[in-house]
Each structure stands twice: as C-alpha cells, then as structure tokens.
Amino acid sequence: MSPDDFRRHGRAVIDWIAGYMESVETHPVLSRSEPGEVRARLPQHPPEMGEPFEAMLRDVDEIVLPGITHWQSPTFFAYFPANASGPAILGELLSAGLGVQGMLWTTSPACTELETHMLDWLVELLDLPERFSSRGPGGGVIQDSASSATLCALIAARERVTSGACNRSGIDRRLTVYSSSEAHSSVEKAVRVAGLGSDSLRAVPIDASGAMKADALRMQVTRDVADGATPCLVVATAGTTSSLALDPVAEIAEVCESHGMWLHVDAAMAGTAALCPELRFVNDGLESADSYCFNPHKWMLVNFDCDCFYVSDRAALINALSVLPEYLRNEASESGDVIDYRDWQIPLGRRFRALKLWFVIRHYGIEGLRAFVRRHIELTHALVEWIEDDPDFEIVSPPWLNLVCFSHRAGDEVTQEIMRRVNASGRMYITHTRVDERVVLRMCVGQTHTESEHIERAWSTLRQTAAEIAAERG
Ligand SMILES: *Cc1c(COP(=O)(O)O)cnc(C)c1O
C-alpha cells in the first residue's frame, strides 16, 4: 500500500469510525450473533490474490458489525466500562504508524521517556504517594492489563521473600498469597502462572460491605506461619469487581509489615476516581503499598489496553524479570542512566502506549477528566434515587461511585428474567453478580457519551420490563 493509497483508505477508515461514533446507538448493544455465525460468513480459505480495500471495509459492516457487542454505546452498563475517546484512538493510530518496539530505551528513547513521564504525571494527577514516582527508587510502567500487573507484583514479591532464590533454583518453600473472597479472578490466575498453585491462595473473609476483614487476614497469616508457610503477597482491592468495595488498605499494610509480605493494591476501575480531590479516599493507605495499579482503559477514556502499574522499589521487579542475552546488550543500558521497560513486564516487546495516554490527558486537561468522572457519579446518583423510590426494586449495596447494585424484590428469578429481557431488547446491556447468595444486577455508568437521557431510557426499560413480567405472572 503506497503512502497515497494509505492516505485515501486511511481517510475512509477515519470516516468509518466517526460514523460509527455517531450511529452506535442504532445497534443492539449486546450482539445477537449466534455461535459460529460470524465464521460461517467468512471464506473458508485465505485469498490467493490481494483484494481491494473497499471490499474489506464493506465486510466490516456486513460481517463484523453484527458480531460486535457495543462497548462504546452510551447504554452499555455491563461489567466495567472500557471507554475510548477520539484522542486515544488517534494516539493508538500513531503508535501503529510508528510501529515501534519499545523493549529497551535504545530501541526508541521517546517510547520509554514519554511513558515514564506520563506515569509521573499520573502520580500527580491522582495524588499517588511520591514513592511511586520515578524520581526515587520506585516508578511506573504501562502493562496490558491489571491481570499482568498482579502477576508482576507476585513475581516481584516472590523474588523479595526468597531473596532471589526462587529465580535461581525454583520455589523451595510453601509461599502463600492472600486476597479477599471478592478479589478479581486474576489473582488466582497469577498464583497458578507463578507456580504457587491455587491451594496457596487464601480467600480472606469479607465484611458486610464486601471489604476484606483485616483481622481475619492477620489470623490466617499467623496460622500459615505456624504451619511452616512463608507469607508472600497480599492483594488488596480498591473497588471490587462485584460491588466496588474498598479493602482497608492501611490495616492490611500493618499485617504485611509485621510479616514481611508484599502489598499490592488493585484499583483497576475505581483508581480513576482519585482524579477528583473529593474522592481521594480511594487512595487511603496507599503510602504503605509496595505496588499499585489502575486501568485508564476502564474509566479514563483511553481505549484498551492501558494499565498503569507502580512499584515503590523497582529493584525487586527488575531483579526478578531481567535476563540479559548478549544480543540485547547496549551502551545506554550498561550506563545505568536509562529505563529498559522489558525488565518491568513479562514479554520482551512492547507497544508505544504512552502516546494515547498523553493525547487523552492533553486533550481533556485535568479539569476535563474530572468533569467526566463527576458527571458519571451524578448520573449514578440520579439512577439510585429512582431505584430507591420504586417499591419493586431495592438497592443491594450502597453505591459510592459509579456502580449500582440492585435487585427486584420479587426474587432471583424475576431479577434474572429482567436482565435477560432488557439485554435481548438491544436497548441496553447490564450484567449481574451475587451478593450474599442473591442475584444482583450491576449497572456501571462509565461510557464516554453516557448522558441523562441514556440513564432515563435504561431505567424506563427496566421498569417496563419488570411491569411486563409482573403482568404475565398475574
Ligand atoms: C477489571 C478488573 C481487573 C481485570 O482487569 P484487566 O485489565 O482486564 O486484567 C482486575 N481487578 C479488578 C479489581 C478489576 O475491576
């Protein structure tokens, strides 16, 4: 494809994306595609000869779009958001255009230095503890996901508690890991990948708000130590996936300190709230954490993937992950004056993700980003009021941010049927969880273009559906 052809087709693609942004609400939010339907429409074999670009874009419309669940729809309330924005998409495009591999400082100094700088900006933006800035022994790095951040935290923790022995000769003792029973599944995955095994993960009980009980943690750790285990890592969650509960990080940190455990704080979704000074309590206790992560790709307008991972002492991470073959040796690395981010993550190669983060922060500015978070919280409050005023529905856990957990009073079956029908209607998309064995609907307000009309429409769809079901049941 010549630069001139690229210009032409590139304009068509940008037009396509802009058109999609304008029309996203016309599609059913949850894809109606049946299993195998997309593949059935694709040719059995790859083409012998090259095809015109127009044909590809046409197939995106005809084959791909029906198989898309519209995460960018303003009535997408399922899971957690993965919101995107114009500046992020353009940053992503530039990153692809430059096609940089940022594994070493020397393989593109700008890729590394812009990333370090953005992560330091975010320390300031979110008022994170200074220990996470690159000015001291700590620092931040962009990972693909919070799951990778948790795995890296575990690997660094394992390195520290075994004084590096595990990386030379394998794990020679029983290491234990702790998180609340509401922690994300990525903690168990990390424990498996790191070779500790699922049995080494302790699910610490939670209180009524869904937060880890620090006393229960202390007791479990004491038991494990008496049993001959070496406590390695605690993953505290600031904003659990089910209900955005906040683990008591400061109390957990005390337990970690008395047993030499690494403390990782996972704030994948809720971390963004700290943009707003009035919500900085999401960072409570963070000054004692060894590592921290949050996902700008969830709620900060940066399209997937972009997880910001911080460590207070980068030495443990780098010692655990740095393997230096001859072909990667270079003067800059040897000088010790530069960061080689390959040593801060599992893969060697890495994309230039800082560009989209830079574009988003510059395009919206701090105030723009704050306004966005505040608008979502306001919309959430409106929704909560309507639910509270409706005798048929009830709020299940007190919402403090942008997630509402609620149920129909008629019980699980009706609650589940409401979800099935509103999702089938194509008008909105919500998902569920279980709180105290009860089916609970989750509505997370976090899409880039969600406004009050969308919340109103969603609420009226929910109410009408509930009324329909009640009428059918007599
Ligand atoms: C969403 C979420 C994750 C997983 O995020 P990925 O970036 O997709 O790995 C982990 N932890 C919490 C608390 C989450 O909300």
One domain, residues 370 and 437: yes
Phi, psi of 268 (to 5 degrees): -45, -50
Within a domain: 54: no
One domain, residues 334 and 385: no
332 falls in which pLDDT band (50, 70, 90)? confident
One domain, residues 184 and 265: yes
pTM of the model: 0.96
Q: Is the CB of 237 within 6 Å of ligand 1?
A: yes
Q: Is the CB of 272 within 6 Å of ligand 1?
A: no
Among 39-53, 130-144, 161-175, 275-289, name the one with the lowest average pLDDT. Answer: 161-175
One domain, residues 158 and 238: yes
Mutate to test the pocket of ligand 1, among 184, 235, 265 (most ligand atoms within 8 A of CB): 184
Q: What percent of the chain has pLDDT over 90?
A: 92
**104-115 confidence digits (pLDDT tens):** 999 999 999 999
Buried b (16+ CB within 10 A) or exposed e, 226-252: eeebbbbbbbbbbbbbbbbbbbbbebb
Within a domain: 56: no
Within a domain: 93: no
One domain, residues 122 and 265: yes
Q: What percent of the chain has pLDDT over 70?
A: 100
One domain, residues 279 and 157: yes
Structural domain boundaries enclosing 279: 100-351
Of 351, 377, 411, the one marking the end of a domain is 351
- pLDDT at position 279: 97
For atom 12 of ligand 1, which residue has the closest CA? 268
One domain, residues 77 and 202: no
Q: What is the mean pLDDT of the segment spanning 190-197?
A: 96
Q: What is the mean pLDDT of the segment spanning 227-238?
A: 97
CATH number at residue 16: 3.90.1150.170
How many other C-beta atoms lie within 10 A of the C-beta of residue 363?
16
- pLDDT at position 336: 82
- Structurally, the chain folds into a number of domains equal to 2
Q: Is the CB of 432 within 6 Å of ligand 1?
A: no
Within a domain: 336: yes
Q: Is the CB of 146 within 6 Å of ligand 1?
A: yes
Examine the pLDDT at 294 and tell me if it is beyond 90.
yes
Q: Is the CB of 269 within 6 Å of ligand 1?
A: yes
Mutate to test the pocket of ligand 1, among 186, 240, 246 (most ligand atoms within 8 A of CB): 186
Mutate to test the pocket of ligand 1, among 83, 142, 143, 147 (most ligand atoms within 8 A of CB): 147
Give the Å distance between the CA of 304 and the centre of ligand 1: 12
- pLDDT at position 355: 98
Q: How far apart are CA 455 and CA 428, in angstroms?
A: 10
Examine the pLDDT at 261 and tell me if it is beyond 90.
yes
How many other C-beta atoms lie within 10 A of the C-beta of residue 126?
24
Phi, psi of 453 (to 5 degrees): -60, -35
CB 465 within 8 A of CB 421: yes
Q: Which atom of ligand 1 is nearest to the CA of 184?
A: 11
For atom 7 of ligand 1, which residue has the closest CA? 145
One domain, residues 291 and 385: no
Q: How far apart are CA 386 and CA 394, in angstroms?
A: 10
Q: What is the mean pLDDT of the segment spanning 51-79?
A: 97
- pLDDT at position 341: 97
Examine the pLDDT at 328 and tell me if it is beyond 90.
no
Within a domain: 89: no
330 falls in which pLDDT band (50, 70, 90)? confident
One domain, residues 338 and 400: no
- pLDDT at position 382: 96
Within a domain: 245: yes
One domain, residues 334 and 470: no
Give the Å distance between the CA of 204 and the centre of ligand 1: 19
Within a domain: 222: yes
Q: Is the CB of 351 within 6 Å of ligand 1?
A: no
One domain, residues 325 and 194: yes
Q: Is the CB of 423 within 6 Å of ligand 1?
A: no
Give the Å distance between the CA of 265 and the centre of ligand 1: 12
Within a domain: 298: yes
One domain, residues 165 and 217: yes
